[in-house]
Amino acid sequence: MKELLKTTDGSRLVADAFLGEGGQGEVWRANDGGRQVAVKVYHPHTATSEQRQVLERLVAKGSPARYFLWPIYLVSDPARNTYGYVMELREPRFRSLEDFMARRIEPSMCALLTAGLQLTDGFLRLHSLGLCYRDISFANVFFDPKTGDVRICDNDNVDISGTATGGVLGTPRFMAPEVVRREAVPSDQTDRYSLAVLLFYLLFGGHPLDGQREAKIRCLDVPALERLYGFDPLYWPVRSFPPPTRRLGGKTCFAIG
């Protein structure tokens, strides 16, 4: 049990179940006026004034679309001298994209296309507010493998497009080459690159820059990753290869999946 205070009116919020922990803080389940919500509480050393300002901006702007598990309001944790924020609780039907890549779930092509459409729509709406997500990757997206419905978490990374605040540059393999080379900071433009990589993974099962060069590297350490995805990126378009075919009813047909 963890007792928190709402910053809006000072009333009490009791977190009754621990859900998980990361580098920034802990996530708890709480009851807020009869509805189940999730609360992220920052570790004291990550609860900076800069992060609090980011959260206050996000709460004031409001969620750009229903796909985002957006900060609703802030809470304080007097016992640890830190703070956090309340968001919607992710339903059990939503699974991580990491589960999809590991083949622990097998969604239909319709579900994958729906997920791709909702991701594109969600980030378009986010960018229209002058914001960027900064860290689009497998770890931050969940979807329902039956319907394709999407939920985007870790929205405390979101900030004004093109600013260097927050310190989050992205996740290896998903970062735009100019961000890897430290020639640019995250923006709506670099978000679009990361989103394109994510959609490529969804539809083709791999990274658009992977190929023979990546397969020949014996140790994918940081210098190798930076060369492949930042300093010397090379995309070999799928259309350069003849599409696979299969026989159907005595005729040769192009295979789509």
Whether 256 is in a domain gets the answer: no
Beta-strand pair 82-88/159-160: unpaired
Give residue-wise pLDDT tens across range 198-251.
Answer: 999 999 888 999 888 888 888 888 999 889 899 988 887 654 444 444 444 444
Distance between CA atoms of 116 and 137, rounded to whole angstroms?
13
Q: Which of 57, 88, 119 is the last residue of a domain?
A: 88
pLDDT tens digit sequence for 46-91: 999 999 999 999 999 999 999 999 999 999 999 999 999 999 999 9
Q: Are residues 65 and 162 in the same domain?
A: no
Q: For residue 13, tell me if it sits in a domain.
A: yes
Name the percent of the chain in helix, strand, coil, to the closest 5: 30, 25, 45
The C-alpha angle 116, 121, 125, rounded to 5 degrees, equals 150
Asked whether residue 251 is assigned to any structural domain, the reply reads: no
Instruction: Kindly report which listed range (3-17, 65-79, 123-137, 179-193) carries the lowest average pLDDT score.
Output: 3-17
What pLDDT is stored for residue 83 in this prediction?
96
Kindly state the average pLDDT of the residues 89-94: 96
107: amino acid identity, one letter: P
pLDDT of residue 234: 85
Q: Do 203 and 78 fall within a single domain?
A: no
pLDDT at residue 180 greater than cutoff 50: yes
Q: Output the pLDDT for position 254.
A: 36
Both 132 and 224 in one domain: the answer is: yes
Q: Does the pLDDT of residue 191 top 90, yes or no?
A: yes
Residue 220 CB partners (closer than 8 Å, separation 6+) = 214
Q: Which residue has the tokens 């020949």?
A: 216
Q: What is the pLDDT of residue 33?
A: 84
What is the span of the domain harbouring residue 153? 95-240
68 and 108 fall within a common domain = no
Structural domain includes residue 65? yes
Assess if residue 110 is contained within a domain: yes
Domain match, 83 and 99 both: no
Residues 137 and 198 in one domain: yes
* pLDDT at residue 256 greater than cutoff 50: no
Give percent above pLDDT 90 in the chain.
67
Q: Are residues 50 and 176 in the same domain?
A: no
Question: What digits encode the pLDDT tens for the residues 15-37?
Answer: 999 999 988 999 999 999 889 99
For residue 75, what are the β-bridge partners?
6, 84
Q: Are residues 211 and 110 in the same domain?
A: yes
Is 257 part of any domain?
no
> Among residues of the chain, what percentage have pLDDT more than 70?
91
Q: Which of 88, 104, 130 is the last residue before a domain boundary?
A: 88
The domain tally of the chain equals 2
Q: What is the pLDDT of residue 166?
A: 64
Name the residue with tokens 């493998």: 145
> Is 160 a member of any domain?
yes
The answer on 228 and 120 residing in a single domain is yes
4 membership: H or E segment, kind and range: strand 2-6
Judge whether residue 140 has pLDDT over 80.
yes
> What's the CA gap between 107 and 96, in Å, rounded?
12
CA-CA-CA-CA torsion sign (244, 195, 93, 42): positive
Q: Are residues 130 and 53 in the same domain?
A: no
Q: How far apart are CA 125 and CA 69, in angstroms?
A: 14
CATH code, domain carrying 17: 3.30.200.20
Domain boundary among 64, 88, 112: 88
- Quick one: CA dihedral 190, 194, 197, 203, positive or negative? negative
Spatial separation of the C-alpha atoms in residues 161 and 148, rounded to whole Å: 28
Instruction: Give SS3 for 77.
Output: strand
253, part of any domain = no
DSSP assignment of 21-53 equals E-SSEEEEEEEETTEEEEEEEE-TTT--HHHHH
Do 72 and 100 share a domain, yes or no? no
What confidence score (pLDDT) does residue 22 get?
87
Query: Residue 149's domain is classified under what CATH number?
Result: 1.10.510.10
163: confidence class by pLDDT, cuts 50, 70, 90: confident
- Six-digit token pair at 36? 């189940």
Mean model confidence pLDDT for the chain: 89
Measured CA to CA, the distance from residue 85 to residue 80 in angstroms comes to 15
Q: Does 128 share its domain with 195?
A: yes
